[in-house]
Structure 1
């Protein structure tokens, strides 16, 4: 897998040594408030999640670790094409890093992977993520109730799509 450089970020393949830095993000209730799983209680839970990220076959997806100034600040990519996902440390929210990283991934997905459409699924309470997708040109396609059971709470979804021009 390749690396992507943007003005402020490095998007690179995940490696097992990312476990502790990812766990520092994924154990935070604020970071995981709208994720598909509860906060990770142990580093072993994060290690299993990371192992699955690393094992994504290149023909099925492409997920990246996002670094700023050599520090892991999140992850972004396609666990399975064409489904986009991203998670960032709350300490960098509001700095435009998600927009920068996801914008670079969109460009790569359309040019390199020749995707015709990119899809995203967002919890309707996640206003910041919805705004990000809309700024990047995504349009809402539909909504659905009770799509994710996170812990003991059912969460809804807003679905978005971005077509290649």
Structure 2
């Protein structure tokens, strides 16, 4: 199955995508607000990639984002109904996240009997918070010290997007 937008292809991962994901997952910029440190080796990315895309876990529904034939990110639900995405820094600020998110959200509500899609965002990640707000997500709560990454605690803002009426 594929989801096409004006500029993007959202598709299922194939094993050869791991190299493109290593470029993203090893980038300190891309991983700045992620729940783990940047990947230090291809082996770390290979383990993440297998779990992310090929675990067969029914609470996951992960997609590859392609732009101009190049893998530029990942979008999906990693723990039903929690939504997330990551993009290569080269494509930031070009509307790719918004375009991919709108397409994925439409798909998710059409596919799953969920009342809402949720998100957990680092409060420092203004770009993601702005994107989610633009998509209609609203803040539901905040929590302190939700992620311990590299010996430092980080907080969370929780958001929700209700199923369209």
Q: Quickly name the TM-score band, shorter chain normalised.
A: over 0.9
TM-score by length of 2: 0.96
Structure 2 CA distance for aligned equivalents of residues 87 and 96 of structure 1: 13
Say which is worse superposed, 33-42 or 52-61, in terms of deviation: 52-61
Deviations along 1:100-119, whole A, 9 cap, x unmatched?
00111110111122321100
Gaps of 5+ in 1: none
Structure 1 CA distance for aligned equivalents of residues 112 and 3 of structure 2: 14
Structure 2 CA distance for aligned equivalents of residues 59 and 26 of structure 1: 24
Deviations along 1:109-141, whole A, 9 cap, x unmatched?
111223211000000000000000000000000
Report if aligned partners of 1:76, 1:102 keep a CA contact under 8 Å in 2.
Answer: yes
Match of 2:147 in 1: 148
TM-score by length of 1: 0.96
Report if aligned partners of 1:61, 1:78 keep a CA contact under 8 Å in 2.
Answer: yes
Report if aligned partners of 1:123, 1:156 keep a CA contact under 8 Å in 2.
Answer: yes
**CA RMSD across the alignment:** 1.0
Structure 2 CA distance for aligned equivalents of residues 38 and 59 of structure 1: 26
Q: CA deviation at 1:56?
A: 3.8
List, as ranges, runs of 4+ consecutive aligned residues in structure 1 with deviation greater than 6 Å: none
Structure 1 CA distance for aligned equivalents of residues 110 and 120 of structure 2: 22
Task: Determine if the alignment matches structure 1 residue 49 to structure 2 residue 58.
Answer: no
User: Number of residue pairs matched?
Assistant: 164
Gaps of 5+ in 2: none
Structure 1 CA distance for aligned equivalents of residues 136 and 55 of structure 2: 27
Q: CA deviation at 1:61?
A: 2.1
Say which is worse superposed, 95-104 or 13-22, in terms of deviation: 13-22
> 5 Å matches for 1:109-148?
109-148=108-147
> 5 Å matches for 1:13-162?
13-57=12-56, 59-162=58-161
Secondary structure of 1:32's partner?
A: coil
Q: CA deviation at 1:150?
A: 1.1
Deviations along 1:71-102, whole A, 9 cap, x unmatched?
00000001121010100001100000000001
Structure 2 CA distance for aligned equivalents of residues 3 and 155 of structure 1: 35
Report if aligned partners of 1:14, 1:53 keep a CA contact under 8 Å in 2.
Answer: no
Report if aligned partners of 1:118, 1:162 keep a CA contact under 8 Å in 2.
Answer: yes
